[in-house]
Structure 1
Amino acid sequence: MFCLDRQRGGSEDCPTEVLKIAGSTGNVYTVKIDRLPSCDCPHARRGNECKHVLFVLVRVLKATNYWQRAYLASELREIFSKAPPIVPVDAERCDNDRKPIHEEDTCPICFMEFQDGLEGTVYCKAACGNNIHKECFDQWAASRKRSAAPVTCPFCRSRWIDADGSQGRISIDMLKQRSINSEGYINVAQDLGISTQRDYSTYHSFWVRREARRGADVGDWYDPDPF
């Protein structure tokens, strides 16, 4: 999952945040963190707790009381005061997003250390800011192009932004221009280099059959005539 946008709202006494989250198949869901956290994904709409809210609380906001289903205004203030800052749009285009190289860090392709620091490296400008050996990345990009696949970050799988900025970050303006798919959501799977088909390998077979009968695309995970 990926966080595409964060917007702080509410009041000083009771702050809230609305986030756009790209799910595992690229559908973009809206998660709101307020007194009663909510998400507009199908699972949450049925009254269930969903993984998108949990992702926001744990990964994005770094909340320690992520297990709660409701929050007091004082708890919301504490969560947002300790959460990572929201990066301004202008800051997204500068090298401040680049992560520093630590002694134990390794390249995700060759798994070797960065012996020369930032020299001879590139980094993900689209999302995660992680560093990669330039030579390794060039080979990675070439292999992706040979297979007609989009060039993505080896870490976070976001579409790669070249040095000239030719591949842009997924922005709210871009989302507004996208059409709604058959499930009722904007989908950015192609931008992130991920599949639009959900992985049902860990789902109970009864649930998969039920979703297939409702018209869901379950691919090869359901055989209507197994015998």
Structure 2
Amino acid sequence: SGGAPHCTCLDHRIRKTTCKHILFVLMRALGLRKEELLNGVEWAVVESAAGEDGLFAVDAEYDVDDDAGNVVERPKKRRKVTAVAREVKQRPVDGEESCPICCCDFGENSQAPLVFCRFSCGKSLHLACFKKMAAFQRRARAPLLCVYCRHPWD
């Protein structure tokens, strides 16, 4: 419904700060860069909201050049894909784990069918969530990657 992003977590409701959930959606789901988020927000506040788990370290494209203090673009790493992909087994699903797409615990809806990353990490997600994500990626003409490890899905 427009306006500023809103979250129902305690951090956002009580402290009125930008929580890690909002940052996750803005950066990982929508693909915004740090520089695009800094519209009037101090970076230290944004970084502290992300926590120490390195939310921004996962896919950072920019570094600060220590010598001159300039922001420089980090070259993107190329992924090597082998000709023959070896399948991995599905990792056991812990009842407290949640789907990375809908954020619902797997234990809450244990009847929902799951799919898993067959060629890299073996982690699971809901089949319905995967289908929605795959349709979105197809429309965007983007490669279909595992949401956990970013390995090509097929």
Mark yes or no: TM-score above 0.5: no
TM-score (norm 2): 0.43
Q: Which structure exhibits the higher relative contact order, with contacts defined as CA atoms closer than 8 Å and separated by 6 or more residues?
A: 1
- Give the TM-score taking structure 1 as reference length: 0.30
Bigger strand share: 1
Q: Which has the larger radius of gyration?
A: 1
